[in-house]
Structure 1
Amino acid sequence: MGSEKTENGLYKIKTSQQVISCCCGAVLTSLLVTPLDVVKVRLQVQSNPALKGKSFLESDGLTDHICVYENENGKPWPKKLGHFTGMRDAFVKITQREGVRALWSGLPPSLLVSVPTTVIYFTCYEQLCDALTSKLGDDNDYIPLIAGATARLGAATVISPVEMIRTRMQSSRLTYKQLCAYISNNLAKDGWLSLWRGWGPTILRDVPFSALYWCNYEYFKKKLCKRAGKSEPTFLITFPSGAAAGSIAALLTLPFDVVKTHRQTEMWMSEAAHSTQQRSSSILEVMRRIVQENGFAGLYTGIVPRLAKIAPSCAIMISTYEYGKSFFRKLNKDRHMKNH
């Protein structure tokens, strides 16, 4: 029986069971969070019409979502949609005039990105935690930080070319033939590294987020489990732990998210002007310009909508994932008892 259990007495789960738990969490999170993305995009386009027709990858550090600054299938938005006064007003008007389904526009590409990313990310995190725990011991507080950062680095690196290709398809409405020609031209001109364009700012934002998130999540989870006298976390433990850890990580890494958005906007403006010689500014240059124009507060632009999305996203994802692991542990325990 010892080989069936972890050091804390809980039954082990298989890698395939981890993958299933990841998939369930990613799908449920996308279903519940996509309406928030749609409303936020509409509000952003309202304040900056130049963004219409563009697409980008939105990440909360745990899952990724494709957001498109136009309606499904490239159809224009209703001309008489009216001006949104806020998130609540946008929810009501979009639902009344476009139907409830409009709140989930962009869901398929979001799932195509978020599910494989989350599977790689969470599975790597669990495997790294197990490996580090066996070498460093269960009481080492740096294990979640190291495992979280490394897992996110690996997942982002593997998925980055897919994200770049998908974003290009969404933004330009390219056919597969046009897309192949575009990729071939880029490879001939800039080499294979062109497939990882935008990797740097993404890593700068997501790796620190993941390190901070997992470190805080495991800390809160252990404290709440100890206070409740539980050996395994319940929903009432994982949900607030995930929300709190996500909020802290989002607050501390927001400047990197602002810089990534600015650089992506610069790229769009350069493309719109058909500029082939203009090169995007470095991360430090963008930060310096933001501080000069708007002060240090400019690095924290959008903190309220970011927290409004990330806190529930992290809470839903980790709670679903932990519930899945708990379900499979009980299943494995029952099977083991029957066989013995």
Structure 2
Amino acid sequence: MAEEVDYEGLPQNAGLGVHMLAGALAGISEHAVMFPVDSIKTRMQVFTASPAAIYSGVGNAFTRISSTEGIRALWRGVSSVILGAGPAHAVHFGTLEFVREIAGGNEAGNQWLATALAGGSATIAADAFMNPFDVIKQRMQVHQSQFRSFISCATNVYRAEGIAAFYVSYPTTLAIAIPFNAIQYTVYDHLKRFANPRNEYSPSTHIVAGGVAGAVAAAVTTPLDVAKTMLQTRGVSKEADIRRVRGMFDAFKVIWARDGVRGFGRGLAPRVLTTMPSSALCWMSYEFFKAAIRTN
């Protein structure tokens, strides 16, 4: 009788590469599927005086964008995500598993500190790679964007604003991503252990645990995400105060002055709607690819 494969265990001859490849495939799957809702989130978070670019909700945004600009407008910028998401998620999940292992997160019991440390560490490495791709993506997503290709957008931003434009939001990205991933990974890991104590391959468990974890993390970090969107799209804004924003705290001041407390919740619904299924898909894909790769 063949020995049963423990999909959660890491074989000595596979190690980190399995997690990195699974993470890359999961990342591409996650971002590509939910991209239209992410486009709506970006547009709802952008501060603008143009009535044509102000939306009352997800349904309103979807209807107006698809009817006035065509359904393809919701996919504008997806090439940037596909190019960046694979390598970035490979780095993310590789770091995640490596840190969890050395910090003792794979030991019995609830290793809260180890799993939170693993989640936070993973994003520092991954976002350093992904941030420029995210800037390009959002520049292409905004209302009446002049960019239709990844190359033209990247070239234009570099020539007009320099390399700093691709990293002006990196501190804010980390301020979002470190707590986001720490919360998401901790909630996911403990929900998975609670629902699946035998560590068997269970797609339904990964979907539910991943979705809940993503929704909680997305809701908590939405105010920071609004600031990040402002920083990443400031170069295409016609508003003087937005173009002068230089960092997270400048963005907070502008958000507060323009919209008060309500401004920090801009895009909350589409952010949760995007993150909940995409997180569920990402974790399900990650666990599936990890299991599939290792059983071949």
Superposition TM-score, scaled by structure 1 size: 0.66
Aligned to 1:141: 112
Deviation, structure 1 residue 232: 2.3
Task: String of CA shifts for 1:56-88, please: whole Å, max 9, x gaps.
Answer: xxxxxxxxxxxxxxxxxxxxxxxxxxx988644
Partner of 2:237, secondary structure, is helix
Report the CA distance between 1:268 and its aligned residue: 3.5
Distance 2:45 2:292 in 1: 40
- Once residues 131 and 169 of structure 1 are traced to their aligned partners in structure 2, the CA distance between those partners, rounded to angstroms, is 40
| Higher mean C-alpha displacement, 236-245 vs 192-201 | 192-201
Determine helix, strand or coil for the equivalent of 2:292.
Answer: helix
Gaps of 5+ in 2: none
Note the C-alpha offset of 1:263. 3.6
> Are residue 127 (structure 1) and residue 91 (structure 2) matched?
no
Match of 2:171 in 1: 200
> Could you tell me how far 1:313 is from its partner in structure 2?
0.8
CA distance in 1, matches of 2:139, 2:72: 24
CA drift at 1:196: 2.8
CA shift for structure 1 position 25: 1.3
* 1:36/1:167 CA distance change after superposition, 3 Å: closer
CA drift of 1:231 comes to 2.3
Q: Residues 318 and 96 from structure 1, CA distance in 2 versus in 1: closer, same or farther, beyond 3 angstroms?
A: same
Q: Is the 8 A contact 1:267 1:280 kept in 2?
A: no
Counterparts of 2:59 and 2:266, CA distance in 1: 20
Instruction: Please say if residues 92 and 122 of structure 2, whose CA atoms lie closer than 8 Å, have aligned partners that are also in contact.
Output: yes
Q: Find the residue that maps to 2:199 and give its secondary structure.
A: coil
Residues 175 and 224 in structure 2, CA contact (< 8 A), matched pair in contact too: yes
After superposition, give the CA deviation of every residue in 1:166-220 in whole Å (9 maximum; x if it has no partner): 7779966599799779758967xxxx76653221111111111111111111111
- Counterpart of 1:300 in 2: which secondary structure? coil
Structure 1 residue 130 displacement after superposition: 1.5
- In 1, Cα distance between the equivalents of 2:140 and 2:63? 30
Change in CA separation of 1:49 and 1:150 when aligned onto 2, cut-off 3 Å: same
Q: Which structure ranks higher in relative contact order (CA pairs < 8 Å, sequence separation ≥ 6)?
A: 2
Q: Give the alignment of 1:17-36 within 5 angstroms.
A: 17-36=18-37
Mapping for residues 56-95 of structure 1, pairs under 5 Å: 87-88=58-59
Tell me which amino acid in the other structure corresponds to 1:30: H
Which residue identity is paired with 2:95? C
Q: Distance in 1 between matches of 2:64 and 2:136?
A: 33
Matched with 1:262 is 230
**Mind listing any 5+ residue stretches in structure 1 that lack a counterpart?**
53-82, 332-340
Distance 1:241 1:284 in 2: 33
Moved more, 98-107 or 170-179: 170-179
Equivalence for 1:220: 191
Q: Which residue of 1 aligns with 2:78?
A: 107
Query: Which residue identity does 2:220 align to in structure 1?
Result: L
After superposition, residues 143-182 of structure 1 pair within 5 angstroms as: 143-161=114-132, 163=134, 173=147
Question: Aligned runs of 1:292-303 on 2, under 5 Å?
Answer: 294-303=259-268
Amino acid of the residue matched to residue 257 of structure 1? D
Aligned to 1:60: none
Report Cα offsets for 1:220-271 as digits up to 9, x if no partner: 1111112xxx32241111111111111111111111112223344544437x
Alpha-carbon distance between aligned partners in 2 of 1:194 and 1:41, rounded to the nearest angstrom: 18
* Structure 1 vs Structure 2 CA RMSD: 4.1
SS of the aligned residue for 1:232 comes to: coil
How far residue 16 of structure 1 moved from its aligned partner, in angstroms, is: 3.0
Q: 3-state DSSP class of the match of 1:217? A: helix
Q: Does the CA-based 8 Å contact 2:138-2:229 persist in structure 1?
A: no
Distance 2:290 2:208 in 1: 18
The structure number with the bigger radius of gyration is 1
Cα 1:11/1:205, change in 2 over 3 Å: closer
Residue of 246, 252, 262 corresponding to 1:287: 252
Matched, 1:241 2:177: no
Change (3 A) 1:113 1:302: same
Count of residues paired in the alignment: 284
Instruction: Determine the C-alpha separation between the residues in 2 that align with 1:194 and 1:288.
Output: 20
**How far off is 1:125 after superposition?**
0.8
